[in-house]
Amino acid sequence: MGLVLAIAAALASGCGKDARPTGGNPYGLPALDRPWTVREQAEAAAIVTDLCERGATTMPAFGSPAFSRLVDANNRTTLVASPLPARHDAITAHTAALLEIYTAYFACGRLPEALAANAALLEGYAESLAVGRAMRDAAAPDSPERASRQAGLDKMIAGLDGGIASTVAMLGDVEIPGDVPPAVGQRLGAAIAAVRAELPAGLLDDTIATLRQAATAVTDPERRRAVAAAAAALD
């Protein structure tokens, strides 16, 4: 409950609640007409963080071309494919940039954008788990390298278990202000499903049950549609 209250306080006092989608690229972001490289994603994350820290009310808003590029899954198409360690490093850098973007929108009280960035982040984490598992399996049995890889996976799995539970709580809590479009809920649910496929069976069962219950229990009609879209994506 303390975490949810902290989330609510952060979002309720956010600096960008009145922003509206804008066209073009007035933010100095990398070009919007193509997928970004890891370096460009990191540059964009720094710009968004700076906008929030300066109290800007014109951060890229959900529905704008700039925000769509910030969280576009196609940005991952620029990541190096092989060898596995290079792929892992690239995904790690990519998700670090997305985490910074999520953190900025969260801190500035922008719930729809924060949840959309969270969905993109979870998509990256799902791929990171798959690559990490492949790297573990490539290591010699009983080797220190294999043990180290497994320890890294275990740590990430534990973090995702708690993190997804917090995300579901944030989505379903009508005390946290923000109009969440069903499209955000749908992508978030699909991202949770992608992570679930990489986790030990049953690990997210309680969290998903909570989400499905919220799909009918949430009192606000608009938020209920977003939660229902997330739950439907997990079916």
Model confidence pLDDT, tens digit, residues 210-230: 999 999 999 999 999 999 999
Decide if 112 is inside a domain: yes
Decide if 72 is inside a domain: yes
DSSP 174: T
Instruction: Give the residue carrying structure tokens 């479009």.
Output: 181
Is residue 215 within 8 A of residue 223, CB to CB? The reply is no
Decide if 152 is inside a domain: yes
The answer to whether the pTM exceeds 0.95 is no
Decide if 10 is inside a domain: no
* Count of the separate structural domains present in the chain: 1
The predicted pLDDT at position 24 comes to 63
Decide if 56 is inside a domain: yes
The predicted pLDDT at position 57 comes to 81
Decide if 6 is inside a domain: no
Give the closest residue to 86 by CA, choosing from 120, 43, 38, 156. 38
User: How far, in Å, are 27, 42, 92, 221 from residue 50 at the CA level?
Assistant: 10, 12, 22, 34
The predicted pLDDT at position 103 comes to 97
The predicted pLDDT at position 11 comes to 43
| Residue span of the structural domain in which 69 resides | 21-233
Decide if 182 is inside a domain: yes
Is residue 86 within 8 A of residue 80, CB to CB? The reply is yes
Instruction: Compute the C-alpha angle 224/177/48, nearest 5°.
Output: 115
Decide if 15 is inside a domain: no
Is residue 135 within 8 A of residue 149, CB to CB? The reply is yes
Regions of the chain where pLDDT drops below 70:
1-24
The predicted pLDDT at position 25 comes to 81
The predicted pLDDT at position 55 comes to 81
